[in-house]
């Protein structure tokens, strides 16, 4: 069994679907603003502490579409990766998407996005775990869409700050094989700053979920520091192979600190992590991570995953034989299932099996949000494998 004093099977999983919410507002100034004080609105709801919190420094809206290969050939950067773009380039890509959409008249799907958002939403909707988000969103239409989607998904949004400015956006282009290429635009998006994080944000919670990234490196460091002071465990996703390749030194700084308890890497990220080593296969990357984290997981796409905790190593095959419609969110939803397994006190192998079930559910439709039908599919797969079925309203 996976043993963790702070996150064991005796923890109650509470779904935060509530009809009435008590909101408080407070306003304070942010230092360092060139154009004067910026007003932030924080909604503080009278609710029990969320079991799992996600750090989404800059709220993000995903524009997801299935497109033909010719459009992907026109876009700078490697196919399958995620590199930032300016707002004019994002708007240009969106304008081009309309003439390259597969399966007409399939529209562009616009939803709340971001890796951590996908994981937290999956935990709340699909597994009934009480969750919240820490971050900021803009005072624009995209920001309102983000908050509405999270509230509808039962996620506690009381730690989200509204700021003056635009909300981040990302174009997610999915090819005929279900592989996704992402181009986020965050350069001018509002985000939470490191000095805005407070202990109250994490007090009473058990896990903090975050995604590695240089754009938010100071915020990540501050959040981890506060989380550790308050006794939380920390889960980190390695983001993308480009992020690992270009910022390996600061990534190692985080891993070597010993403050990251659980680390997720996909096969491409794992390869970058151990590039140049004598052994550069997923197993070597797993060992690399396991020396620095209590739990290490490397996902292998259609080949399942491998994981290590202490001296235990497991390999679990992928679940579901259906062709992937869209791989967007597969790793994020795998993390949802794995974390659910941890807080339920399941074994390492069972955690991986639940992760494979939830990761397999999201690839059956477009975007990083699982449909009700696919949640039902996931529960059926869990039931077949003798895994505990989550108590939810989905």
Judged on CB neighbours under 10 Å (0-12, 13-18, 19+), 26 is exposed
The tokens describing 255, both together, are 């891993």
Q: Mean pLDDT for the chain?
A: 86
Give CA–CA dist 143/190, Å, rounded.
Answer: 10
What pLDDT score does 321 carry?
A: 63
327-364 per-position pLDDT tens digit:
888 999 999 999 999 999 999 999 999 999 999 999 99
pLDDT at 19 over 80: no
The predicted model scores a pTM of 0.85
195-215 average pLDDT score: 96
236-288 per-position pLDDT tens digit:
999 999 899 999 999 999 999 999 999 999 999 999 999 988 788 999 999 99
pLDDT at 137 over 70: yes
What pLDDT score does 160 carry?
A: 98
Q: 158 vs 34, which has greater pLDDT?
A: 158
Q: What is the torsion angle, in degrees rounded to the nearest 10, for the CA atoms of residue 215, residue 164, residue 95 and residue 327? A: 50
Closest listed residue to residue 71, CA positions, set 101, 33, 30: 101
Band of pLDDT at residue 106, cut at 50, 70 and 90:
low
What pLDDT score does 331 carry?
A: 95
Packing angle, helices 217-229 and 248-256, rounded to 10: 0
């Amino acid at each position: 069994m996976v043993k963790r004093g702070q996150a064991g099977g005796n923890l109650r999983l509470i779904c935060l679907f509530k009809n009435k919410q008590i909101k408080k507002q407070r306003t304070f100034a942010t230092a360092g603003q060139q154009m004067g004080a910026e007003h932030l609105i924080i909604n503080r709801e009278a609710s029990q502490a969320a079991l799992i919190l996600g750090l989404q420094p800059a709220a993000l809206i995903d524009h997801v579409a299935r497109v033909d290969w010719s459009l992907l050939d026109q876009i700078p950067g490697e196919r399958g990766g995620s590199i930032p773009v300016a707002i004019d380039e994002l708007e240009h890509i969106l304008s081009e998407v309309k003439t390259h959409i597969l399966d007409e008249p399939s529209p562009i799907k616009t939803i709340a996005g971001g890796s951590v958002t996908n994981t937290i939403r999956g935990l709340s909707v699909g597994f009934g775990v009480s969750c919240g988000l820490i971050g900021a969103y803009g005072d624009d239409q995209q920001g309102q869409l983000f908050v509405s989607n999270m509230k509808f998904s039962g996620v506690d949004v009381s730690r989200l700050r509204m700021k003056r400015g635009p909300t981040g956006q990302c174009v997610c282009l999915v090819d005929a094989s279900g592989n996704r290429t992402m181009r986020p635009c965050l350069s001018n998006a509002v985000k939470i700053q490191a000095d805005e994080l407070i202990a109250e944000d994490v007090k009473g919670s058990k896990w903090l979920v975050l995604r590695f990234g240089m754009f938010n490196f100071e915020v990540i460091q501050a959040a981890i520091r506060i989380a550790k002071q308050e006794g939380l465990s920390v889960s980190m996703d390695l983001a993308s192979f480009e992020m690992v390749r270009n910022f390996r030194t600061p990534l190692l700084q985080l891993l070597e600190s010993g403050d990251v308890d659980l680390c997720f890497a996909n096969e491409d990220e794992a390869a970058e992590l151990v590039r140049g080593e004598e052994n550069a296969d997923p197993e070597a990357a797993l060992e690399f991570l396991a020396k620095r984290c209590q739990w290490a997981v490397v996902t292998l796409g259609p080949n399942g995953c491998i994981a290590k905790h202490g001296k235990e190593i497991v390999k679990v095959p992928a679940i579901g034989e259906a062709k992937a419609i869209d791989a967007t969110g597969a790793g994020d939803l795998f993390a949802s299932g794995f974390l659910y397994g941890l807080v339920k006190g399941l074994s390492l192998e069972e955690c991986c099996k639940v992760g494979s079930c939830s990761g397999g559910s999201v690839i059956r439709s477009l975007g990083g949000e699982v449909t009700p039908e696919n949640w039902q599919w996931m529960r059926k797969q869990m039931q077949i494998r003798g895994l505990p079925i989550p108590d939810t309203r989905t």
